Amino acid sequence: MNNTITPTQILEKYSAIGEKKAKSSTRKICLLGILSGVLIAFGSVATNTAVYGMKDPWTIKLICGLLFPFGLGMVILLGAELFTGNCLITISVLDKKCTVFSMLRNWCIVYIGNFIGSLIVAMGCAWFGQMNYSNGQLAVYTMKLAQSKCNISFANGIVLGFFCNILVCVAVLMALSASDTTGRIIGAYLPICFFVLAGFEHCVANMYYISAGLFAKMVPQYAEAARAAGISLSDLTVWKFIFGNLFPVTIGNILGGVGISYLLWLCHCKREEK
């Protein structure tokens, strides 16, 4: 039996899914967006907890790359709404199955939902003891990572976000090429592993990584531990979080998602005029 599925079939499959996403109720989109934010945040919590005591950058990247993809795996298997993946709704718009307005509506609601879910997990971990590992060294690592993300340049945020969401969208489409759980997880796994290893920027992951650092900074014992380690937290601010990282990375994620959607649709789905 032939179980292969062509690129055209994958895109047609997503086109129908994207239409349904765009036309779903606000309540459903918001709740699934919050769920997705929570699940991606859990993946981020796992990576920080696994590597906070390590010094070698290569080892840190490798372990994060191996662990983080399971966050997207949970999102895909549970049908949650992830902003970066939903950039693929562009395919449904190009197929004229939904309007640009309905796509933008979905994006806005999902983005807010993802943010809420990320904040819930970040607040819970920072304020209720999850970061107490090694006398607060997990919190120190979380704040240090958050500050480093706040200090990327605007151009770097756009370009690294662009590359990131090409891989995220490829992961979502590859997951659709399989009908069983194992195949869907494997399909999504490698592209996400690649973007983490390469250090690309994902706006929803950063919603946790940076907000967790900000919430940890508000805990006196964590702030004191950071000072004792010689780490200045002056650049870890809400302003730099929003405008120094989230804004450019989101722009890059949108450009990458829309770009790969258009390219694949143009090559595999556009009907040639005779």
pLDDT in the model for residue 272: 53
pLDDT of residue 109: 98
pTM summary value: 0.94
Q: How far apart are CA 51 and CA 67, in angstroms?
A: 11
Q: What pLDDT shows up at residue 270? A: 72
pLDDT at res. 271: 67
Angle (CA) 247-143-165 rounded to 5° is: 35
Is residue 38 over pLDDT 80? yes
Q: What pLDDT digit, counting tens, does each position of 45-67 carry?
A: 999 999 999 999 999 999 999 99
For the CA atoms of 208, 195, 19, 254, the dihedral, rounded to the nearest 10 degrees, stands at 80
Taking Cα atoms as reference points, which of 131, 111, 126, 143 lies closest to residue 240? 143
Contact, 166 vs 260, CB < 8 A? yes
Taking only the tens place, the pLDDT of each residue in 153-202 is: 999 999 999 999 999 999 999 999 988 899 899 999 999 999 999 999 99
pLDDT tens, position by position, 12-34: 999 999 999 999 999 999 999 99
State pLDDT tens for residues 83-119: 999 999 999 999 999 999 999 999 999 999 999 999 9
**Structure confidence by residue, pLDDT tens digits, 196-243:** 999 999 999 999 999 999 999 999 999 999 999 888 899 999 999 999
At residue 273, the pLDDT reads 45
